[in-house]
Amino acid sequence: MSRFWQRAIVSRSLADWLILPLWAVLDRLLSKRRERWAFFVHPLKTDQFVENSRAVYEHVKNDPNLHKVVFCRDSNASRLRLEPGINTRLVELQSLSGLWHLARCGTYLLTNSIAMDVSWRWTEGGFSVPKASLTRRVVVNLWHGIPLKRLFALSASQEVRARADRSRYRLVERAHYSGLVCSSDVDSYAMAAIFHPLPHERMWITGLPRNDFLRMSHERLPAFLRDEVELIRRLRGSRRLVTYAPTFRDSQVQASQCYQFSEQQIEQLRQLMNKHHAVFGFRMHYFRKGDQLFNMERYIDGRLLIDLGHQVIHEIAPVLRESDVVITDYSSVYIDALYIEKPVFSFAYDLEHYRTQQNGLLYDMQLAFPGPVLSDFDQLLQAVDRELSSPQQTQSERYETAKKFFFNHRDDRNAARVVDRLHSLMEKGR
């Protein structure tokens, strides 16, 4: 019984037809405590507890008035690198113990959605979603970024939209969020459209908690982030760091292809790095799907081309703090770079296809992107060469306009603002 309590060893049919339906009834009957906050490991990087959820946890971990329950998956708890906190408990999500603690928590702090964060995963594929009561607790979505791409209700194609919302519960839960974190007035309207039917008045323009990790001093960073900063410093040495972080490509969309670098282009990159006493860091999107991947991975040599992937550096903050130049395509990682005034470049080699056949873009790139938008490799190489030779992008009026577009706050108090809003909701519920 103890193994079953700690970790579910059941079939999917037993879970779907008995355990989870019974839990849904229990969840609607059992009393909730709003000061019992549920945090969840990343739904896809299950050995990592990162991003906005981690930033909020770090802010409250020593608060004796809150009970923090961090839900982990499998045997990965030891790799979460949690520093000791007051009234903190690690619980295996896919277990009877996990269901009990889920039912007791009166506040859910999501990193993506209940449908993803709380789901039970099966070795043969697929998932089952515990149908949590959405009206008897506070549910806040700590969405991980400021979207540049069209998502969910705004996806450019019906095919992409259908895949994103294949769990019906995901559509239902949006209407019941008590809050959804946003970064600016403009961002709040985009998020309200993406997360329809959630009303705009429930957008919390607090700023993104994880951006605190960009602004706070090195000494105030959690230990695991300080360690990652030190690792990057060892990899780069005294050289400047050029970071390339492309976005996710959906291999199921026709003609959606990751950029494939030629041997000649790789050699040109190496020459450019040598010229400017720099190193080129590659960070692929964590969601890997299909066989079409960026072939940059094959050229990583640990000397001029280094691996800054998610298995090496869990959070983006250490990478951006140490970067001198940031290259992406349509990833909102460039918006994070603006938070600490790093020059950015868009390698938009398939811009028209991405606009019309893939996720699509919320904003015109000429409006929302403060650096050059480049369609081929030679243009990219020349633009980076100019910036490394004579840095000037961050002083431009266009760069300043983009910062105002995306940020109402530019400090290290984003997590504090979220926690203040949560405490207000707790007071109202008493």
In this structure, what CATH number is given to the domain that contains residue 70? 3.40.50.11820
Domain assignment present for 51:
yes
Domain assignment present for 422:
yes
Strand-pairing partners, residue 240, are 278
Domain assignment present for 100:
yes
pLDDT digits (tens, 9 = 90+) for 320-366: 999 999 999 988 899 999 999 999 999 988 877 777 766 678 888 88
Domain assignment present for 218:
no
Say whether 338 sits in a helix, a strand or coil.
helix
Termini Cα distance of the chain: 37
Domain count, the chain: 2
Dist CA 284 CA 274 (whole Å): 23
Amino acid at 416: A
Residue 291: per-residue pLDDT: 52
Residue 1: per-residue pLDDT: 39
Residue 254: per-residue pLDDT: 47
User: From the centroid of its chain, how far is CA 352?
Assistant: 25
For the chain, list residues with pLDDT below 70: 1-9, 75-77, 151-167, 248-257, 285-293, 357-359, 429-430
Please indicate, yes or no, whether residues 83 and 56 belong to a single structural domain of this protein: yes
The domain that holds 240 is classified in CATH as 3.40.50.12580
Tell me the two tokens of residue 421.
């809003």
Residue 255: per-residue pLDDT: 46
Residue 169: per-residue pLDDT: 78
Please indicate, yes or no, whether residues 81 and 110 belong to a single structural domain of this protein: yes
Query: Using omega within 30 degrees of 0 as the cis cutoff, is the peptide bond preceding 197 cis?
Result: yes
Please indicate, yes or no, whether residues 267 and 355 belong to a single structural domain of this protein: yes
Amino acid at 76: N
Strand-pairing partners, residue 180, are 141, 203
Domain assignment present for 217:
no
Q: Domain range for residue 311?
A: 223-406
